[in-house]
Amino acid sequence: MPGTSLTIRPLAASDEAAWRGLWAGYLEYYETRVPEAVYQSTFARLRSGEDHEFQGLIAHLGDRPVGLVHYLFHRNCWKIENVCYLQDLFTERAARGQGVARALIEAVYARADAAGAPAVYWLTQEFNYRGRMLYDKVGMKTPFIRYNRPV
């Protein structure tokens, strides 16, 4: 898509429909769904500007919404400063291979720098091969694995 520029900016109220579409695509990747109340509360929180809420960025290629990322600053006992947890990252299928996900991660890095957060991290499934091809370039695999309380 020569001539189509990529822009990344914080979610605006007017992005709600676009954000819903992208986030549904993301949840589908994880073969999950969330109730309407979660769409509503999460979008409101992402837009709230409050300290302890996730924030959201949306990526456009030209006018087309193509990706999103959510991130949270939270405490870490090992540090004075907050660290940054990047929870959701998604590029719609048709826009892959154009650097959208990398640009979203780098946009979070820039916001972490601006906030003085000395660390950014995320979790991904061991078998998310496409994601990891990128993550190995922009991040560093750690030996940490996640355990959950059994449901």
Enumerate binding residues for a second copy (CB under 8 A): 27, 32, 34, 37-38, 41-42, 45-46, 51-54, 70, 72, 74-80, 85, 87-88, 109, 112, 119-127, 129-130, 132-133, 135-136, 138-150
Q: What is the DSSP string of 31-60?
A: T----HHHHHHHHHHHTT--TTS-EEEEEE
- To a second copy, the closest distance from the beta carbon of 86 in angstroms equals 9
**Distance between alpha carbon 34 and the CA centroid of its chain, in Å?**
17
- Which token pair is 105? 């991660």
CB 108 within 8 A of CB 76: no
Shorter beta-carbon distance to a second copy: residue 13 or 37: 37
Shorter beta-carbon distance to a second copy: residue 103 or 120: 120
